[in-house]
Amino acid sequence: MVSMIEFHYRDGTSSKYFNQHTTICIFFQELENLGATTQLEELGDQTLPDGSKLPLPPVLLATLGTDPNKKTLLVYGHLDVQPASKV
């Protein structure tokens, strides 16, 4: 699917949001490339201690296949943005 994605950022606020949103969009496209039906659902804003607001990353929903005779599998996870490794 997607090879390793590495971003560098200086703080834990707006640039981290940008990287999370970018990662979600990459997975969105990859799932569509596999034939999945995809959609993003916005969650609203987070209010930071200084009173400013930061949009929360959207939730990525995807469905692969529509055969009613097949069982449903729900995969719940998150695309966490972690500090880049120093490998």
> What's the helix, strand, coil split of the chain in %, to 5?
25, 20, 60
Domain count for the chain: 1
For residue 26, pLDDT beyond 90: no
pLDDT of residue 71: 86
Which residues constitute the domain of residue 38? 1-87
Neighbours of 67 (CB within 10 A): 6
Q: pTM, whole model, 2 decimals?
A: 0.66
pLDDT per position as a tens digit, 41-70: 999 998 989 999 988 888 899 998 889 998
